[in-house]
Homo-oligomer: A and B are copies of this chain.
Amino acid sequence: MSESRLKTAEIVSVGTELLLGQIIDTHAPTMARLLASCGIACQRRSTLGDNLERLTAGLKEALERVDIVITIGGLGPTDDDLTRDAIAAALGDGLVKEAKVEEALRKFFAVRGMAFVESNAKQAMRPESATLIENPNGTAPGLLCQKNGKTVISLPGPAGEFNPMAFGPVKEFLSRASGGGVIHSRILRVTGIGESMVEDRIRHLMLGENPTVAPYVHDDVHLRLTARAPTVAQADALIDPVDAAIRGILGAAVYGSDATTLEMAVIEELVRRRQTLAVAESMTGGGVGERLTSVPGSSQAFLGGVIVYRPEVKTELLRIPGDFLARHGPVSAETAEAMAMAVRRHLGADFGLAITGNAGPTSDVDDKPVGLTFVAVAGPGGVRMEEVKYRGIRDDIRRRAGQLALRTLREELLKAD
């Protein structure tokens, strides 16, 4: 392995229950992030079942493509645990017994008054070129195999064994193997502009190689800025000017970075201004309140509100006259406006946020088309109204309506400056 070029890796998750989707694999993403943090380029992740032939073939192929192959799972005592055999076969190694591991295993069982089933002795076997990675939290040690310039690292599947081993000795090995350096990412979160429009406006910033800039859609548009550098601080120093340039172009559409959600940005802005918010939700049924109150400390700014799902409740809770509702219909700009103003007034809030619409699948309260959504923000400067027609299924329409509500509120907050 040349020390100068970027080291490459693949992750192979092992287990039929993973392959068939009966459990979700969270270890492989963890390991992918760990590789990046160590400055190693993860090029592929695979999931294979408990089948010796296919597992061996998968490992052989991976070893042809990259420097480091990391396996997760399949190190246990049962007949289904085949990782150690597959690694030996892929490397052309024999298996040898590690006497002191078998001894420790026998002791482990004796201490607990459990019978030592012979299949457990399997966990004392290792490929010839492997050294063992200690596992203080379980019975199967990990494996570190180095042969012909390639490395195979093998970790157990249980979370309580995988995590300490991954973030302990494996991270240490990977940091050394990479020859120093990190791959560090920052996410910029953008709202109110579509993906292709974002790309159009910052295309010249997407041509750089360090950092790279990649957009992806995740309700809103996220921009991932990724830099390679000797340290995280140096990677941040490479990212900072590009971050600033993007914010310069997209302006307030960038609402936060990394794990910042739109509801966090809204609560933060309200708290900064010492202003308060109340909501009146119809189609979202409480979903916007739920998001706002997911932010710790949100009670500094969020008072509460009303869920006016059935039309008559709009009269009971917000005192919107029945004949007004009958004239305009519950799904209308007029009703959204009346809801926002009423909830603002009744709760004595600085801002009232209202959402009404038809999420489908059928129009059950109105003759308005499915997807039609009205958002109103009532504030000290008057009322702002948004009307959108969404496509998609009920859940999507409701989620997007909530996103629109928070986005519109944020824009009104920023405008008040």
Contacts and interface: CB of A to CB of B under 8 A. Distances in A.
Interface of A: 15-17, 19-26, 28-33, 36, 42-51, 54, 58, 61, 76-80, 114-115, 117, 119-120, 136-138, 158-160, 163-164, 185, 187, 194-197, 199-200, 206, 214-218, 224, 279, 281, 283-290, 292-294, 296-300, 302-310, 312-313, 316-317, 346-348, 360-362, 364-365, 391-396, 398
Given A32-B19, A216-B15, A308-B304, A394 B296 contact: yes
B296 A289 contact: no
A196 B120 contact: yes
The 7 closest A-B pairs by CB, nearest first: A285-B293, A286-B286, A286-B289, A21-B29, A21-B32, A160-B396, A287-B290
Contact of A299 (B24, B120, B309, B393): B309
A237 B180 CA distance: 59
Given A164-B393, A197-B115, A206 B79 contact: yes
13 contacts: A21-B30, A76-B217, A78-B195, A79-B206, A138-B392, A163-B393, A285-B286, A285-B293, A286-B290, A303-B309, A303-B312, A306-B306, A307-B307
Contacts of A77: 195-196
A303 B296 contact: no
A283 B304 CA distance: 11
A176 to B, nearest CB: 21
Contacts of A306: 304-307, 317
Given A302-B310, A309-B303, A394-B294, A196 B286 contact: no
Contacts of A187: 22
A180 B48 CA distance: 25
A50 to B, nearest CB: 7
A137 B391 contact: yes
B305 A307 contact: yes
Contacts of A304: 306-310, 313, 317
A364 B297 contact: yes
Nearest to A285: B293
A117 B197 contact: yes
Contacts of A32: 19-21
Contacts of A16: 214, 224
A168 to B, nearest CB: 11
Given A158-B217, A316-B346, A398-B294, A46 B43 contact: no
Contacts of A297: 362, 364
Contacts of A398: 293-294
Contacts of A33: 20-22
A310 B317 contact: no
A286 to B, nearest CB: 3
Given A21-B29, A296-B361, A307-B307, 18 more contacts: A20-B42, A22-B33, A22-B187, A43-B49, A45-B47, A61-B61, A76-B217, A119-B199, A163-B393, A285-B290, A286-B288, A293-B307, A299-B309, A302-B310, A303-B312, A304-B306, A316-B347, A316-B348
Contacts of A346: 316-317
A224 B22 contact: yes
A160 B289 contact: no
Contacts of A392: 137-138, 160
A347 B196 contact: no
B296 A160 contact: no
B217 A393 contact: no
A286 B280 CA distance: 11
A137 B163 CA distance: 39
A368 B45 CA distance: 44
A15 B29 CA distance: 13
A289 B284 CA distance: 8
A89 to B, nearest CB: 17
